[in-house]
Structure 1
Amino acid sequence: MPKPELMQNNFDEKLLQLLISRIGDYAIYMLDPNGYILSWNQGAKNIKGYQDEEVIGCHISIFYTTQERRENVPGNNLNDALKNNIHESQGWRVRKDGSIFWADVAITTLYDDDGFLKGFAKITRDITARKKKDDQKTLVNAELERRVKANTDKIIARERRFRELIENSYDGISLFGRYWNVLYRSRSAARISGWSNEERAGKRHDDLIHPDDLPMAKELFARVLTEPARPVMATYRTLHKQGHYIWIECLLNNLLNDPDVEAIVCNFRDVTGRILAEEQIREKNRQIGSILESITDGFIALDKNFCYTYVNHRIGEMLGVDAASLIGKCVWDVFPDAVNSSTHKAFKQAIEEQHYILNEDYYPPLGLWQENHIYPSPEGLSVFIRDITERKLAEASMQQSESNLRSVFENTDLAIVLFDMDARLQSFNNNARRLADRYFKAELKVGESAFYYCLPERVGDVKHILQKLRRRSPIVYEVSYPITAELTQWFEVRWVSVVNAQNQPVGIILTLKDITGKKQADQERDRMTADLIQRNKDLEQFTYIVSHNLRAPVANIKGLSDLLSDDMKPDDENMAALTALDTSVGNLDKVIIDLNHILQVSSQANDTLEKVSLPLLVDDVKSANSQLIQKNNVKIHCDFSEVGELTSLKSYLYSIFQNLIVNSIKYHRAGVEPVISIVSKIDHNKACLYFTDNGKGIDMQRDGLQLFGLYKRFDLSVEGKGMGLFMVKTQVERLGGKISVESGVDKGSTFKLEFPLK
């Protein structure tokens, strides 16, 4: 029996092995004294990628890089562990897939109770992420040290440069205390004002400001004191030492609370020359503006980017806009339709070539004809714009009749002839000339009478036409001319009066349009329609003959079958065959009856249309099926508020309602009382009828394509022939409508019927 302490040791060892095998974040495994792998835990699999059978028995050198194996790093690590009982190091290690990771490694020696080396325990941890973070931190710290040194050098250099700039700046710089006492003035401050530092120190700040600017300046100074660190810009006049006032532009910044400054900083410059020049420019602009506003032409000034810098009021009148609203906008943004126009090209040419250009252009969005006088300069364009719309319209009006008429004459497929009110030829196009050569064998001549070209039998008709045209009634008719024995050319002839400004007839236009192709297409369509009608009649007649001629033979066969059945004993060996014959004859008889029913539907298509009341129609169906409705406790709800009646064939509608209602009752769900809803709606000039029930429903994915087929049945638990929905679809389509279904198994069905309102 094992000793208790031995059992306890075995238990502890197994527990330790179990614990190690479950550790997933550390690779923990045993090595023999020569460095060969004896065990492999889950963490080792996760980190190194090897399974137990792939790595046990292998030397640990497989985890080291090629360079480290050459340098015998694995052996040195084991020797170090032997010397010190433990070896700890970090370095790159290789996974099974060849990728490397930064590992934290600890190798510990293991001895037995007698002091003999049993091997090594090796623990490896993947610290690649920490390695990257440490490397990044090292790089960042080095970069920060480099930047600090560089910035320190820059600050020292900038401070020296700043001092030099302040003392030699063209602008004046002054530092004031809280009560506007001078703390510092640069050399430029004395140069600008003429006052030395000693002289300026003896003057009050307000005493140097022009009386007219003093209220504004005091308000400005007060705002500077109440809004620290917020720069304030101002322009005002100050007294020069020589006794005159100069204009200064200053920027004040309250830095009294800044411990490095503790002053109000004032940067200023002498802008007297600029202010006086601006005043002179404003005065000249006022004079020029007065001139430009008084002229009758429009005037605009554009910069080099074609943006408006000036627009006179006449331009606003021409364009129908506020002239001031155009300032600062690009002319091509305001009028995008003018891009690539003649004006656009002229503006660009004037800028590029710097010479005067005159152009005329039409701007369709405004219906505006303009004459542009374009004067370039290095700064942009000055353009005088004259509205010439009336002149252009007058010119166009003079040319319109002749150009339009000639364009229509020679670019149309019509043959056109113009006559005066005395029926004398005034003008004609090439098409008319060719037709006259072909059909009249005569050349058209200006001044010739229309009757010269008429056939004798047509003279009376032409005179009648001319009389009607005097009442300005256009006349249209068709005429044909034989080309060959087999071919005839057709024309649509149109006579129209031409009236003057007083609405009086002054001429006649005769046009002939070749409609031979249309006539041939109409004749072919009529022939095909007649052929289809005849084929349909022949087919119906054939079906009628077949169905009626089969009835007598089928009835005879059925009678003979019944006689033989009566005379034959039940145990006769021919009884089964006779029974099968009787069944087949019965089925054939049903098919003939159904065929006759379908033929009756076709023949009813010629019934008289009448207004059919939908509520009364439902009442008729309910009355005819009262016992079926009561037996199954059926509830029928109707809403015909939108469409209460239809102009249609009552027999068709009755059959449709009958089939849909009876089908909903026949195919109701067991244990569920049938509920049928019939609702009418109007949708885009169509009357829509919705028949909804709560029955068994239809598997549309399986049966949807064959739902309306003849003799198609999908629920054999209920007696039927598969005729109902076929008849419904046939009758709906005969009425010019269409039918669709939405359904699901055990979800009921909705049949949607659409009929034209007219």
Structure 2
Amino acid sequence: MTDAHDVLDRVGEAVFALDAGWRFTCCNEAAADLLDRDRDDLLGAVMWDEFPQLARSRLPDVLHETVADGTARSFTMAAGDDRYAIDAHPDDGGVTVLLEERDPGAAGETASEPVGDGATPDASNGGGDRGERHPGAATGAEEWLDATTDATAVDVLPAALLDRVSDAFVALDDEWRFRYLNGSAEALLARDREELLGRVIWDEFPETVETQFPEGFYEAMATGDPVAFDVYHPPLGTHFEARAYPGPDGLSVSLREVTDRKEREREVERYERTVEAAGDPIYTLDADGYITDVNRATVEFSGYDRDELVGEHVSALIDEEELTAAEDQLRDALAEGTVGTVEFDVETRIGEVRRCEATIAPIPGESGFDGTVTVLRDLTELRQREQRLTVLDRVLRHNLRNHMNVVMGHAERLRSGVDDDTLVASAEKVVEVAERIMSLSDDARRFEDALKPDAGELAARPIEDIEWGATEVAKQYPSADVTVEAPDDGLVLAHDSVTLAVQELVENAIVHNEGTTHVDVTIEREGDPGDGEVRIRVADDGPSLPGTEREVLEHGSESPLEHASGLGLWLVNWSVTKSGGTLTFKERDPGSAVTIHLHWPADESDGRVRGESTDEPTGEDAGDDGRSVTHVGDDAGRGRRP
């Protein structure tokens, strides 16, 4: 078919066909030019004899795999300083190849991927000129590489060759009528080619008038030069790379569907914009630890320009000893393909040493590991603040307790050694205040032990532990009337400190109430395990909490002028927050109620997670529906107050 010949010779892509004996059976002018041979000299010649350097590349293996399993493949390959995109399509024991020169990149080759996978590998894994077979060549490859003696050369007509490839090829005359379509174009347009031949493209596909096709086609015809352009075709929802090649009597067009590639490019662009805009330093390393990319925050943090960092080994920023220790910690995590977190010092350009937390994830590649991506978080101020607070906490608590012991000793002596009622009252006031300060110091130590990072984690814990804690603190105040009602069993998702938090609420309700205190502690569940909640309600009939105390409970905030009177309610807030819960406050008449809302975990099979409670509550009665009711106090037998 003359039109198929015209299309084949006009298009810019190099196209050639090989038979089962690896002989050229067809080739267009672009292929002859690219291979630097006369087309007539190539036809019938064995490829590996004509181009022995290619026999030492990845190409023989890929072509053999294509023929062997009948699956088309796309891959990129470097030859010297040039780089090529290659499509290989099997047919009748042979193979048709489309070869297109790409912009020069890193020398090397990529492993082939079936076209149907939508993967177009484009990363280099080494290369350059080689004097021996590519190490990836299959064992015994010479057997098929040289299997040409018994094969019979069969000429492939241009039309048959074009029908093998996945790209769509179309020929239009100078009045925009179809003169030729290959099989891929027929499938793409969903029209029989015989039906379209002789018809005007704009009449048959009027929606294309609103795309980039007319502009590209007219430009090629007007200038007489090939034109390449991208097209988005809304009716098909697809992106194309289009190339229009003008001739004396019309236009030859090649179309390559690149929708998946465009989507990947957009994803990469979105990722790059996100990384660049991130406030934390982010950088990538290759498998040997050399920096391959950095974001703006890394440049600002380190003080180095981007060009100064890219290509340098990461040891330019991180001490090698710490780097080795970090690598040891990360080895197991990276081997499993998970994220690892380590801490190390980073030295900036001006010599400042910053303590950083690094979250490091592996970058998967064809070899299994292509490097890492690291997100840094500057911990310098945090660690310095923690150190200062630790020193202040130790010094203040130690000195506070020692000095308060001295104050209390002298106040006791003063109280017992004078007869003046006024002086005795003053001494008693000193003792009272000193005891409060000592209690505050004890609270600080208790809270620190309960809330420090290694004091336990969020886990499913027995509800009865909280019930037991509320009962135990109530026993310390026999004049109070405390009722604790809870389910007989079950779990709550909470931090270790949540029992202390409930105890603090109970104690706070008792000590801030004049006269006989009545406190109700109710633990109940709503919903179902996994998505329900456990509510712990502490209600009393005493004075309402001041507004500043409520702010601490509900919002965890205070001001220099308006603040809570102690640390107890801060403990409650911190504990509930650490447990992933919330707090609500409600006024009553009389009194008020504080409710802790926690998650009801799905696993109800184990009634205890850590530690067995050895002390059993006293005065416990069986509830009506699998609940226990415990009364503590002088009037514990009176039952719960309404």
What TM bracket, shorter-length normalisation? Answer: 0.3 to 0.5
Which one has a larger percent helix, Structure 1 or Structure 2? 1
Alignment TM-score, normalising by the size of structure 2: 0.36
Alignment TM-score, normalising by the size of structure 1: 0.31
Greater RCO between the two (CA within 8 Å, min separation 6)?
Answer: 2
Task: Select the structure of larger CA radius of gyration.
Answer: 1
